[in-house]
Amino acid sequence: MNIIVCAKQVVDVSEMKVDPNTKKPILQGVPQKISDIDKNAMEEAIKIKDKLGGKIIVVTIGPADAKERIKELLAMGADEGVLVSLPKNNDYYVVANLLAGAIKKIGEYDIILCGEASIDMFSGQIGPRLAGLLGIPQITYAQKITAEKDKVNADRNMGDKAVTTESTYPVLITVTKEINEPRLPSLMQILGAANKPINEWTDDSLVGGLNPKVEILELKGISMQRKNIVYKDDLDESISKLVDSLAKEGVLR
């Protein structure tokens, strides 16, 4: 079973600060990590490999320092990494086409696994977009995957419905956070990952002439003005103050 995991390096949104004057997010100096749900995709890839054998290749489109992040996934259990440079001007069209280019260069594959969305932008566009580009079936929002030799089925959370979908290979599957608990690699695995190959490919050598279809004009801040009144007195007194305040706000009917 040849499995490809698409993983994105993102800023750790929980460490992000907002400029108090402009209310804009400060992106410089924020620690980078592999998007959480992509690790769930990685974990699922390992489970499938454990059952059916094969090889796992991680593909990331990102800056040079994403190599360090790929090493974490190699330590978890991927066999090989591919890092494709991210052009300065990019959008979902560019990134999906680079992923498709890298996957075509890798050649044979049975399953492509992605997280349902990245935790920074939370679009969930790349997985289905890539499946459309490659012309293969897509199974989205998988909460449970059962892979067999010649087919795979998945239980999917579609909001108001639970849908079970089956497909032959090749197929692209996006997973949700609930599907598993990603493993933490052991020290031995972390050390072992240093010997696993990471291929670095440039974007223009893979797909030439990619121009974005969408450009970002601005990142606007969101002002979150809250009163931040916290009652810490004696419990009964706090509760009575709270109820008075809510009544004054006119939200108790």
Partner 1 sequence: MVLIYSDDKKLTFELLNIGGKIAKELGEKPIALIVGKSNDTLAQEYISYGADSVYIVETELDTFKAEEYSSLLEQVVKDTKSETVVIGSNKNGKELASRLAGRLDAGCIIDCTNIYLKDKKLTSERVVYSGNAIAVEQFISEPAIVTIPSKAFDPLPKDDKRKGETIKKKFDVEKSSSKILKVQEMKSEDVNVEDAEIIVSCGRGFKNKEDIKLVEDLANAIKGKTVGCSRPIAADLKWLSEDHWIGLSGHKVKPKLYIAAGISGQIQHIAGMRDSGIIVAINKDPEALIFKSADYGIVGDLYDILPKLTSAVKEKIG
Query: Binding to partner 1 (CB under 8 A): which residues in 78-97?
Result: 91-93, 96
Confirm or reject binding of residue 125 to partner 1 (CB under 8 A): yes
- Enumerate residues 6+ apart whose C-beta is below 8 A from 77: 42, 45, 46, 49, 56, 183, 185, 189
Task: Work out the burial of residue 30: count CB atoms within 10 Å of its CB; fewer than 13 is exposed, 13-18 middle, 19 or more buried.
Answer: middle
Per CB under 8 A, which region of 47-55, 70-78, 199-207, 241-249 contacts partner 1? 241-249
Question: In angstroms, rounded to a whole number, what is the distance separating the alpha carbons of residues 42 and 239?
Answer: 47
Among residues 141, 175, 180, 185, which is the contact residue for partner 1, using CB under 8 A? 141
Q: Which is nearer to partner 1, 187 or 224 (CB)?
A: 224
Per CB under 8 A, which region of 45-53, 65-73, 77-85, 173-181 contacts partner 1? 173-181
Site string for partner 1, 188-217 (x = CB under 8 A): ------------------------xxxxxx
Total of residues contacting partner 1 (CB under 8 A): 83
Q: Which is nearer to partner 1, 108 or 249 (CB)?
A: 249
Confirm or reject binding of residue 150 to partner 1 (CB under 8 A): no
Question: In angstroms, rounded to a whole number, what is the distance separating the alpha carbons of residues 39 and 158?
Answer: 21
Least Cα distance to 138 among 154, 149, 150, 122 occurs for 154
Say which residue the tokens 């490809």 belong to.
4
Per CB under 8 A, which region of 53-61, 79-87, 124-132, 191-199 contacts partner 1? 124-132
164, 156 in Cβ contact below 8 A? yes
Among residues 133, 190, 198, 207, which is the contact residue for partner 1, using CB under 8 A? 133
Confirm or reject binding of residue 22 to partner 1 (CB under 8 A): no
Say which residue the tokens 């995957």 belong to.
145
Backbone angles phi, psi at 87, to 5 degrees: -65, 155
Confirm or reject binding of residue 158 to partner 1 (CB under 8 A): yes
Q: Which is nearer to partner 1, 75 or 154 (CB)?
A: 154
Question: In angstroms, rounded to a whole number, what is the distance separating the alpha carbons of residues 31 and 13?
Answer: 9
